[in-house]
Amino acid sequence: MKILVPVKRAIDYNVKVRVKSDESGVDLANVKMSINPFDEIAVEEAVRLKEKGIASEVIAVSIGPAPVQETLRTALAMGADRAIRVQTDVPTDLGGVEPLAVAKCLKALCEKENPSLVIMGKQSIDDDSNQTGQMLAALMGWPQATFASEVSLNGDSAEVTREVDGGLETLAVKLPAVVTTDLRLNEPRYASLPNIMKAKKKPLDDISAEELGVEFKPRLKVLKVTTPPVRQAGIKVDSVDALIDKLKNEAKVI
């Protein structure tokens, strides 16, 4: 059974985000970039399924200019077998490659590779859209199990526990299917040095967006990007009594 794992190169989650002064976007110059954390969880889950003997091959996929190859090498070092990069010079952050276009691109790859399962992050931590997995499932006519915190495969179906607003929900989806990962699905491993070295020799193929018949023409025009109103730190109180007094008489919220 083949598993396809789309991964995105995104701003590292520890980086303090700075909006450009001309309000055209977020400043990504000389900023640390990493594999999107939710996608890292997706890679880990796929690799675990391979280690259990359930999956036969794990293919990592990414879209973007040359640096996304680093992101794919990370996935290979974690245990993916091979990688595919879809070449484009369109930026992959805001105002560039959008979820619908990514879903169309992944659809073309799914038709080529015939995976039984696609595991991917529920959202990327840059544009926070939370759309691509659901869109891919729709375009393929496949079931979707989003926000997964537990995945178990039984033959031709997957039982997936989902984190929903009210608590947890379990679905059984027929394969092929799309699963999107939530934070508590697993704790991704650190790639060991030998595995990082081995990853350099694993196949990483480039394919152009044109070859897949996909165009990355944005539908949403980003007019501007601004810094949200900054909340000012208030005051420190020195006792419970002072706190209650402030809440009652100044803020008037209790």
Partner 1 sequence: MTVLVIAEHTHTEIKPSTLNTISAAQKISSDIDLLVIGNDCGAACAEAQKISGVRKVIKCDHAEYAHNIAENLTPAVLKIARDYTHILAPATTFGKNLMPRVAALLDTQQISDIISVEDEKTFKRPVYAGNAIATVESSDDIKVITVRSTAFDKVPAEGGNASCEDLDAAETSDMSRFVKQELSVSDRPELTAANIVISGGRGLGSAENFHIIETLADKIGAAVGASRAAVDAGYVPNDYQVGQTGKVVAPDLYIAVGISGAIQHLAGMKDSKVIVAINKDAEAPIFTVADYGLVADLFDVMPELTDKIA
Residues 228-247 that bind partner 1 (CB under 8 A): 228, 231, 233-241, 243-244, 246-247
Shortest gap between Cβ of 88 and partner 1 (angstroms)? 17
Report residue 86 as tokens. 């879809």
Interaction mask 211-230, partner 1, x per CB under 8 A: -------xxxxxxxxxxx--
Q: Which of 7, 132, 185, 209 binds partner 1 (CB under 8 A)?
A: 132
Q: What is the DSSP letter of 227?
A: P
Segment interacting with partner 1 (CB under 8 A) among 50-58, 109-117, 131-139, 199-207:
131-139
Say whether 1 sits in a helix, a strand or coil: coil
User: Is 146 a residue that touches partner 1 (CB under 8 A)?
Assistant: yes
227 contact partners, CB below 8 Å, separation of at least 6: 19
What distance in Å separates the CA atoms of residue 179 and residue 234, rounded to the nearest whole number? 43
Q: Are 50 and 58 spatial neighbours (Cβ–Cβ below 8 Å)?
A: yes
Element (H, E) at 172: strand 167-174
User: Is 66 a residue that touches partner 1 (CB under 8 A)?
Assistant: no
User: Is 8 a residue that touches partner 1 (CB under 8 A)?
Assistant: no
User: Is 29 a residue that touches partner 1 (CB under 8 A)?
Assistant: no
Report residue 228 as tokens. 């949200």
**Nearer to partner 1 (CB atom), residue 76 or residue 146:** 146
**Nearer to partner 1 (CB atom), residue 70 or residue 245:** 245
**Nearer to partner 1 (CB atom), residue 108 or residue 196:** 108
Report residue 237 as tokens. 């109180």
Of 164, 196, 253, nearest to 75 by C-alpha is 196
User: Is 99 a residue that touches partner 1 (CB under 8 A)?
Assistant: yes
Mark residue 45 as left, alpha or beta (left: phi above 0; alpha: psi -120 to 50; beta: remaining).
Answer: alpha
User: Is 197 a residue that touches partner 1 (CB under 8 A)?
Assistant: no
Q: Which of 12, 70, 111, 169 binds partner 1 (CB under 8 A)?
A: 169
Shortest gap between Cβ of 158 and partner 1 (angstroms)? 10
**Nearer to partner 1 (CB atom), residue 50 or residue 122:** 122
What distance in Å separates the CA atoms of residue 39 and residue 20, rounded to the nearest whole number? 27
Report residue 230 as tokens. 């900054």
**Nearer to partner 1 (CB atom), residue 23 or residue 211:** 23
**Total site size for partner 1, rule CB under 8 A:** 81
What distance in Å separates the CA atoms of residue 242 and residue 229, rounded to the nearest whole number? 28
Say whether 180 sits in a helix, a strand or coil: strand
Report residue 25 as tokens. 């976007």
Report residue 208 as tokens. 């152009």
Segment interacting with partner 1 (CB under 8 A) among 60-68, 72-80, 95-103, 197-205:
95-103
Segment interacting with partner 1 (CB under 8 A) among 53-61, 119-127, 193-201, 204-212:
119-127
